[in-house]
Chain A
Amino acid sequence: MSDRTLLEVEDLHVSFATSRGAVRAVQGVSLTLNQGKTLGIVGESGSGKTVLSRAIMGLLPRSSTTQTGSVRYNGTEILNAPNDDLRKLWSTHIAMVFQDPMTSLNPVQRIGNQITEPLKIHLKLSKGEAKETALSLLMQVGIPSPVERYQAYPAQLSGGMRQRVMIAIALACAPRLLMADEPTTGLDVTVQAQILDLLGQLQHDRDMAMILVTHDLGVVATRTDEIIVMYAGNVVERAPTNVLFKSMAMPYTEALLKSTPRLANPSHTRLTAIEGRPPDLLHPPAGCPFSPRCPYAQEKCHRERPPLVEAAPGHSYACWFPLTAARPQEVTV
């Protein structure tokens, strides 16, 4: 696998104009992704993870958003690029699997039409060729009796099957980068495992890069090379997956992990909940955005925003008093 950089995001800011002011949904995010690698973006609702992935795709409405910074795909700037240029990238270079397979498919079009459409538009395949490719794609994503399903409408399929169809559509034009936004949320555990296996297999076969956006640390723990943790529009920690789970530095990452119920823990294990709520992105706090809820917060945290610094190779975090370092109160003892 090559180390060629496929995607580079630098200091990306996204804000939405609302009647109450600008909502700063993404506040200076930088990331890089190499060919064939998987990046997990983890965060709770409102953390900006979905906005970030849509900004990378160029899917946000131009009229109501302000996007600054840089998104380079294969060295080419694509942030705020003209729609015609983006259309050439979509499907053939970057494709996306959305969360809700119920609403992302067109309910009045047959499955077959929805898969052949990108093939005919982007790859200029003939009707016959497109159908052949579509059937082979349906087979690859594990849909039983593809010939019958080709004629089916989305409503005739289960949620898991619809998500497989979404994946088939996304993969139709052999993209180099697949964005998967909560691809398994709302699916049953057994189906979730099937879909994650399928994505991993296809990614491996095609040497495709993937961004896996999720709220579930369990989904990214064993299926990503690197993880970015987002909170209130900021990247608060970034590390290779193993490093993150072994030596997490940001208290928010720890809090997120501790509030997740674990199969390994005995029943009635008290969960460590994160008290309070995320900050209002209309008026983000001056200091660390997590400081109002952070059990370790000091005076400085409320006053000054910690920058994202690379403390060890590949491991960055935005925290004045990281978990891995000795704490001030511990030092004074």
Chain B
Amino acid sequence: MTDTAVEAEVVDTTEPLLSVEDLHVSFHKGSQTVQAVAGITFTIPRGETLGLVGESGCGKSTTGRAIVQVERATSGRILFGDTELTALSRGDLRTLRTQVQMIFQDPISSLNPRRRVSDIVAEPLNIWKIGTKEERKESASAMLDQVGIDPYLLGGRRPREFSGGQCQRISIARALVLKPKLLVCDEIVSALDVSVQAQILNLLEDLKQQYNLTILFIAHDLAVVKNVSDRVAVMYLGRLCEIAPSDLLYEAPAHHYTAALLASAVEPDPETARSSAALLGEPPSPINPPSGCRFRTRCPRAEPRCAEEVPEMRQIAPGHQVACHFPIGA
């Protein structure tokens, strides 16, 4: 056990670290309103990784940004432990950000090109004046070392001298240097080559164990999400379709959208049935979403009831929730 774990307050591990309740995020475009996130509810227990998958425009990134309060929620509650994030003052929010960190997709543009990487990683410590100057420098070096960047050889270099994968390692070091409790990862490996992607995913798994992190892992790649997540939530057009433990969700999807996504995915194996387009067309506009179930316009199983009644999330097996009137296998 590390020191931090001993110091941490004694808590019930099943108690969620993050609860999102009926979260709505809307954007205004002229007189039109885009409901990017239209009422989603989920929790992440301490130490768990929740994967959030969906196609572009489904609101998965907006959800992540609302949790770290880069985007403000239109309505709904976001509870971090016992703290209601949406009600915090600016000052309190600033303090809280030390515990909730986010890593972004583009590793190169999310680092300041003019600064040395050792300074980039030490910056959060400097802002919060944690320890003496020497201690901060040491913590930053230790953190860089942990993510596989030699602080003595490479700490003095600037981001452009690093590859995409290395920049993503530096971003991870910067996010973890304050020892946050919750980490929001938004498509952090989608710009990387497969071999580098594997390095970063393995690193994230190791750091999660070591720092006892709770992670919201947002990505569009189903195989990547399965690899790192304990549970996976599927999102479509601003709403959640299904949440289940990873292996269960991939083996026995209950929502027709989840099944279609899985059927569309490609596998590096000629023996597997060739993936084919299980869905035609593209998602409708979130400005004017379909009534009832938002997926019904593309759903192979849609019936009149789907247009009239919004399917609520309901439990169909332990830990397996689905928002569908006619789930698969029911």
What is the interface of chain A, defined by CB distance below 8 A to chain B? Answer: 44-45, 144, 158-161, 188-194, 196-197, 215-219, 221-223, 241-242, 245, 255-257, 259-275, 277
- Whether A190 pairs with B268 at a CB distance below 8 angstroms is no
- Whether A193 pairs with B278 at a CB distance below 8 angstroms is yes
- Whether B265 pairs with A222 at a CB distance below 8 angstroms is no
- Whether A266 pairs with B247 at a CB distance below 8 angstroms is yes
The interface centre, meaning the residue of B196, B261, B282 with most chain A CB atoms within 10 A of its CB, is B282
Q: Is B246 among interface residues, defined by CB-CB distance under 8 A?
A: yes
29 CB < 8 A contacts A-B: A44-B195, A44-B196, A188-B56, A188-B220, A189-B221, A190-B260, A190-B278, A191-B55, A193-B276, A194-B277, A194-B280, A217-B194, A217-B268, A218-B266, A221-B267, A221-B268, A222-B272, A245-B268, A245-B269, A245-B271, A256-B194, A257-B268, A261-B223, A262-B269, A270-B202, A272-B198, A274-B195, A274-B198, A274-B199
In order of increasing CB-CB distance, the 5 nearest A-B pairs are A218-B266, A217-B268, A259-B198, A267-B246, A273-B198
Other-chain residue from B198, B230, B261, B266 in contact with A271 (beta carbon distance below 8 A): B198
Nearest residue, chain A, Cβ from B229: A267
How many whole Å from B266's CB to the nearest CB in chain A? 3
Contacts of A265 in B (CB 8 A): 226-227
Nearest residue, chain B, Cβ from A245: B270
- Whether A193 pairs with B227 at a CB distance below 8 angstroms is no
- Whether A263 pairs with B265 at a CB distance below 8 angstroms is yes
Contacts of B222 in A (CB 8 A): 189, 263
Other-chain residue from B194, B262, B278 in contact with A44 (beta carbon distance below 8 A): B194
Bound form: Cα–Cα A45–B165 in Å? 12
Q: Which chain B residues (176-223) contact chain A, with CB distance < 8 Å?
A: 193-199, 201-202, 205, 220-223
Q: Is B310 among interface residues, defined by CB-CB distance under 8 A?
A: no
Q: Which chain B residues (28-43) contact chain A, with CB distance < 8 Å?
A: none
Contacts of A188 in B (CB 8 A): 55-56, 220
- Whether B264 pairs with A241 at a CB distance below 8 angstroms is no
- Whether B270 pairs with A221 at a CB distance below 8 angstroms is yes
Known: A190-B279, A194-B277, A260-B194. A268 touches B266 (CB 8 A): no
Known: A190-B264, A217-B268. A271 touches B201 (CB 8 A): yes
Contacts of A268 in B (CB 8 A): 205, 227-228, 230
Nearest residue, chain A, Cβ from B280: A194
Q: Is B250 among interface residues, defined by CB-CB distance under 8 A?
A: yes
Nearest residue, chain B, Cβ from A227: B270
Bound form: Cα–Cα A221–B282 in Å? 25
Nearest residue, chain B, Cβ from A274: B195
Contacts of B304 in A (CB 8 A): none
Q: Is B111 among interface residues, defined by CB-CB distance under 8 A?
A: no
Q: Is B163 among interface residues, defined by CB-CB distance under 8 A?
A: yes
Q: Is B275 among interface residues, defined by CB-CB distance under 8 A?
A: yes
- Whether B195 pairs with A273 at a CB distance below 8 angstroms is yes
- Whether B267 pairs with A263 at a CB distance below 8 angstroms is yes
Q: A217-B194, A218-B266 are in contact. List 12 more A-B contacts (CB 8 A).
A: A190-B278, A191-B282, A193-B264, A262-B268, A263-B223, A263-B250, A264-B267, A267-B246, A271-B201, A271-B227, A273-B202, A274-B199
The interface centre, meaning the residue of A242, A262, A267 with most chain B CB atoms within 10 A of its CB, is A267
Other-chain residue from B198, B264, B269, B272 in contact with A189 (beta carbon distance below 8 A): B264
Known: A44-B193, A44-B194, A191-B282. A263 touches B262 (CB 8 A): yes
- Whether B226 pairs with A263 at a CB distance below 8 angstroms is yes
Bound form: Cα–Cα A149–B18 in Å? 45
Bound form: Cα–Cα A256–B268 in Å? 10
Contacts of A272 in B (CB 8 A): 198
- Whether B270 pairs with A259 at a CB distance below 8 angstroms is no
How many whole Å from B193's CB to the nearest CB in chain A? 4
Bound form: Cα–Cα A189–B223 in Å? 11
Bound form: Cα–Cα A221–B230 in Å? 28
